[in-house]
Structure 1
Amino acid sequence: MTAFIKQEAMEKGREIEIKADEEFAIEKSKLVRQETSSIDTTYEKKFKQAQMSQQITRSTVTNKTRLKVLSARQELLDTIFESAQKKLGEATKDKGKYTEILKNLMLEGFYALNESKLQVRGRKQDYDLIKKAIENASQEYKENTKKDIEVTIDEANPQPEGCAGGLSIVGGGGKIDINNTFEERLTLLQDTALPSVRTTLFGKNENRKFYD
């Protein structure tokens, strides 16, 4: 009887041990899956953070490089137009050519304003050349339009000191002023010619889709 009870107890113990081993294996597998999933999630999160950080760094470096290139290009363009600004006065050295330039600048204003009485504002030192240019421009204007025009120098309002050359044509009772000084023409040229200058110096902008 004692042996039977002992045998039953041993078998019951083995059943308990087997069941405990099974439960341990199941719990162990569950914990392993949970930890593996947690590790995978953490790794994926860190990997995405590393990718984002790398993209931000790359974008920052690219932008800084782009800004440096744009800054260097702008400095070059500024230097070109500053150099042109310094050379504006050279056009006035040849009196004959300068008188012709003044005449053409006047005619541009004459045609634009289309008035019978106009004034021009120039540099004081150019008054003799301006008088000659007025005579030539008025004659050409009359030949082309069949209209008489009276043009005088506005000596009360000369171009300011330091003006490189050129003149203004004033109409509309003094309310309309077409600025054809060399400085203003260079400014206009800078605006209109800048795209072609950029293309000549740096090539076409591959990122630009539309052109005027």
Structure 2
Amino acid sequence: MSRIHALSDDQVGQELQKMTAFIKQEANEKAHEIQIKADEEFAIEKSKLVRQETDAIDSTYAKKFKQATMSQQIARSTVSNKTRLRVLGARQELLDDIFENAQQRLSEAAKDENKYEVTLQGLILEGFYALNEPELQVRARKADYELVDKAIEAAAKEYKDKVGKEISATIDEENPVSEGSAGGVVIVGTGGKIDIDNTFEARLGLLRQSALPAMREALFGKNPNRKFFD
């Protein structure tokens, strides 16, 4: 039968020291593990926060950059449109000046009676061809009646020579062309229902419409945006 020997006080103290050291070591290891895990979680959270802040900064910068780019584009477009309108305005002003100058010089065409009579003959003959009626009326300035009579006679003769038909025209003294006109005539047919306005002002207006594209090209060059041509 074996005997159980009681531990001495020294032995008990040694055993307690061993147990205390073991427990302390276990606690230190556990604390170290907890510290490592806490450091890892902190690093992860820190990286996450840094990434979130970086993304927020990038997003804010991208938004501001986009806004700045749009503002620049709007400003550039506004300046471009204003410049284009100024250029178009200046070009139109130049064209208006050209035709206004031509308008002022129209009256000079009637000062030389011989040349003016030839001009009247051509304008009347053009009306004869256009209306092609045996009896017509011609409206003119009162000051031009004498020259218009001669021009009608000459135009009627040329019309007969070219067309082979008689034609007669009289001056419509009840409806004269305004004395403010630079000259020319209005040829009236079909009982006053149809007329050919061959006054100088009307002819200049037709010239303006037909010659304007060519004048723009001659003065300012070809329009790169123009797709259709007459």
Does TM, normalized by the shorter one, top 0.5?
yes
Picking from 34, 46, 59, the partner of 1:16 is 34
2:225 is matched with: 207
What TM-score do you get using the length of structure 2 for normalisation?
Answer: 0.90
Runs of 5+ unmatched residues, structure 2: 1-18
Work out which of the residue numbers 179, 196, 202 in structure 1 matches 2:214. 196
Which shifted more, 67-76 or 29-38?
29-38
Deviations 1:142-167 (A, max 9, x none): 11111111110000000012011000
Q: What residue is the counterpart of 2:110 in the other structure?
A: 92
What's 1:142 paired with?
160
Structure 2 CA distance, aligned partners of 1:161 and 1:145?
33
In structure 1, distance between residues paired with 2:122 and 2:226: 37
Give the letter aligned to residue 24 of structure 2. Answer: K
Match of 1:45 in 2: 63
**Radius of gyration: which is bigger?**
2
Task: Tell me the secondary structure at the aligned position of residue 211 of structure 1.
Answer: coil
Determine the structure 1 residue equivalent to 2:126: 108
User: Which segment is superposed worse, 42-51 or 96-105?
Assistant: 42-51
| Number of aligned residues | 212
Residues 139, 172 of structure 2: 8 Å contact kept: yes
Identity of aligned residues (%): 70
What is aligned with 1:168? Answer: 186
Cα distance in 2 for partners of 1:117, 1:210 equals 42
Give the alignment's Cα RMSD to 1 decimal: 1.0
Residues 85-124 of structure 1 show CA distances to partners (whole Å, capped at 9, x for unaligned) of 0000101111111011101001111011010000000000
Tell me by how many angstroms 1:3 deviates. 2.1
Mapped partners of 2:127, 2:147: distance in 1? 17
Quick one: distance in 1 between partners of 2:148 and 2:167? Answer: 16
Q: Distance in 2 between matches of 1:154 and 1:11?
A: 127
TM-score computed with the length of structure 1 as normaliser: 0.97
- Per-residue deviation, 1:63: 0.8
Q: Among residues 86, 89, 98, which one is paired with 1:80 in the alignment?
A: 98
Does residue 36 in structure 1 map to residue 47 in structure 2? Answer: no
Residue 56 of structure 1 pairs with residue 74 of structure 2: yes
**Following the alignment from structure 2 to structure 1, what is the Cα–Cα distance between the partners of residues 228 and 167?**
44
Deviation at 1:37, TM superposition (A): 1.6
After TM superposition, give the deviation of residue 50 of structure 1 in Å.
1.1
Q: Which of 43-52 and 135-144 deviates more?
A: 43-52
Deviation at 1:208, TM superposition (A): 2.2
